[in-house]
Structure 1
C-alpha cells in the first residue's frame, strides 16, 4: 500500500512545524557581509579565492557558491541558463 500526502505551506510554516530555529537574522547578516566584501571583486578568480576563504560548508558550500556565481554571470551576459528550476 502506498499513501501520498501533500501539504501546502510556506517555508516559514514548514520550519515552525518541524521545530527548526528561525535563522533569518543570521542569514541577513551573512548575506550583508558577503555583499559588502564582494564589492571589490572584479573577476571569477577573485571570486573563487574569496569563496574558498568563506566556504561555511567546505567543498559543498564552494560548489554551491560557484554555481550561484556562474548563474549570475550567465544572467548578466544575457545567455540562457542550463537546465530549469522547479520553483
Structure 2
C-alpha cells in the first residue's frame, strides 16, 4: 500500500511547522557586515593592486604562460601529419 500526502505551504510555513529557527534576520545582518567590510577594503585598494590581486601567479608569470601557450599553438599549425 502506498499513501501520498501533498501539503501546500511556503518554505517559511514549513520551517515554522517543523520548529526550525528563522535565520533570515541573521542572514541580513551577516550580509550587511560583509558588504561594509568589502566596501572598506575596496576603497583602500589601488586599481593596479586590484589587477595584481586577480592574478595569483603575478602578471609577469601570466604573460610567460601566455607566450608559451601561443608558441605551442602556432607550432602545431606548422607540423602537418597528413599522409594523403
TM over 0.5: no
TM-score normalised to the size of structure 1? 0.40
Looking at secondary structure, tell me which structure has more helix per residue: 2
For CA contacts below 8 A with separation 6 or more, give which structure has more relative contact order: 1
Considering only CA atoms, is the larger Rg found in Structure 1 or Structure 2? 2
